[in-house]
Amino acid sequence: MREKHITVRGELALAIAVIINTLGVVLMLKSGAGISAISSVPYAFNVVFPSLSLGTWTYIFQTTLILLLMLLRHRFVFSYLFSFLVGFVFGVFMDIHETWIMALPSSPALNILYFIMSYVLISFGIAVSNRCRLPIIPTDLFPRELEMITKVPYSKVKISFDLICLAITALLTYVFTGRIMGLGIGTVAAAFTMGKAISLIGKQIDKKFKFVSFLSK
C-alpha cells in the first residue's frame, strides 16, 4: 500500500525556511568557522563598506542575482518579483538574528555546536524552500533556476555557485583589508558538501510530505 503524504502549505514552509536560513547563516558566523557561502559576498561588502548593514547588503546581492537570472532567461519573469520581497524579509531577519546571536557565549565546544547546528539548519531550510512551490529567496532560487536552465544536477550547480561566492569574498576582503576575512574551514567544508546534503534531506522530505500553495495547479 502506498504511503500517504502529509500536505503542507507552501506559504508556511517558506516562512519557516526564511527564519531557519537566516538563523543558520548568523549562527555559522558566530561559530568562528566562517560565514556561509550564500552570505559571504554580502558579508565582504559589509566589511569593506560598513555604512550599510549585513542585512542591507544581503538584499542588494539577492536583487543582483534576480537580475542575472532574467538576463540568462532573456525575458522578464513576473514570479521573480515575489523573490524581491522574500529577499527583503530575509535581510531584515539577518539583522534581527545578529542582534542576539552575537551576544551568545563562546567557547571551543560551543563554537563546534554552533557550526553543526548552522549547517543542519541551512541545509534543511534550503531543502524546504526548494519544495514550497513559491518563488523563494534569491540565493536559493539562483542555483535551483540554473539547474533548470543548464540541465546540470542541482548538487553540482550549488557547489559551483558557493565556490564562486567564496572566491569573490576572498578577493574583495584581501584587496580592501589586506587579509581574507569571513572565510574559515567551516565555510569551505560547507561549500563542498552542502549541495549534496540538501539533496539528501530533500529526498527524505519527499518521502513524507507534499507541498501546495496558491500558485499550485
Which grid cell is 63? 536583487
Q: Which domain holds residue 177?
A: 8-205
Give how many domains the chain has, as a whole number. Answer: 1
Nearest to 125 by CA among 8, 9, 22: 22
The answer to whether residue 213 sits within a structural domain is no
Which grid cell is 86? 522574500
Query: Does 3 or 102 have the greater pLDDT score?
Result: 102
First to last CA, the chain: 26
The answer to whether residue 210 sits within a structural domain is no
What's the helix, strand, coil split of the chain in %, to 5?
Answer: 75, 5, 25
Report the pLDDT averaged over residues 184-194: 84
- Percent of the chain scoring above 70 in pLDDT: 98
Lowest mean pLDDT among 117-126, 171-180, 184-193: 184-193
46-101 pLDDT, tens digit each = 999 999 988 889 889 988 998 999 999 888 888 788 887 888 888 889 889 989 99
The answer to whether residue 216 sits within a structural domain is no
- CA–CA dist 150, 71 (Å, integer): 14
The answer to whether residue 100 sits within a structural domain is yes
What is each CA distance from 83 to 3, 20, 80, 138, 203, in whole angstroms? 33, 17, 5, 6, 24
Radius of gyration of the chain (CA): 17
- CA–CA dist 7, 212 (Å, integer): 7
The answer to whether residue 215 sits within a structural domain is no
The answer to whether residue 217 sits within a structural domain is no
Mean pLDDT score across all residues of the chain: 88
How does residue 189 score in pLDDT terms, banded at 50, 70 and 90?
confident
The answer to whether residue 187 sits within a structural domain is yes
The answer to whether residue 175 sits within a structural domain is yes
Instruction: Say if residue 1's pLDDT is above 50.
Output: no
